[in-house]
């Protein structure tokens, strides 16, 4: 069996099966996802500018939220105002 990305044998190199693609090295698959900017099945490169900005905002909000809940974990009654 050959890796569908680098076309080298996948035997003995922790092969995975990519749906719709076939056998591949795990590392080749991950490299491909990064180069095509795909995250959890979402092709970020295909988003419109508006959608990309929205996604960017959502990621920031989530990161802020997590950082905040980390610091505020001892203060359950704090109310977050936007
Ligand atoms: Zn490969």
57-80: pLDDT as tens digits? 999 999 999 998 776 655 555 566
When computed from its CA atoms, the radius of gyration of the chain, rounded to whole angstroms, is: 20
Rounded to an integer, the average pLDDT of 16-45 is: 90
% the chain with pLDDT above 70: 84
Tell me the CA–centroid distance for residue 57 and ligand 1, in Å: 35
How high is the pLDDT of residue 72? 60
Residue 3 has pLDDT above 70, yes or no: yes
Residue 52 has pLDDT above 90, yes or no: yes
Tell me the CA–centroid distance for residue 23 and ligand 1, in Å: 9
Question: Quick one: which of 42, 39, 41, 8 has its CA closest to 25?
Answer: 8
The residues, any chain, with a CB within 8 Å of residue 13's CB and separated by 6 or more, are 3, 25
pTM for this prediction: 0.55
Mean pLDDT of the chain: 86
């Amino acid at each position: 069996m050959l890796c569908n990305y680098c076309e080298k044998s996948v035997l003995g190199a922790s092969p995975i099966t990519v749906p719709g693609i076939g056998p591949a090295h795990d590392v080749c698959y991950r490299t491909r996802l990064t180069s095509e900017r795909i995250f959890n099945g979402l092709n970020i490169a295909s988003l419109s500018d508006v959608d990309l900005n929205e996604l960017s905002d959502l990621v920031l909000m989530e990161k802020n939220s997590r950082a905040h809940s980390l610091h505020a974990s001892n203060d359950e009654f704090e109310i977050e105002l936007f």
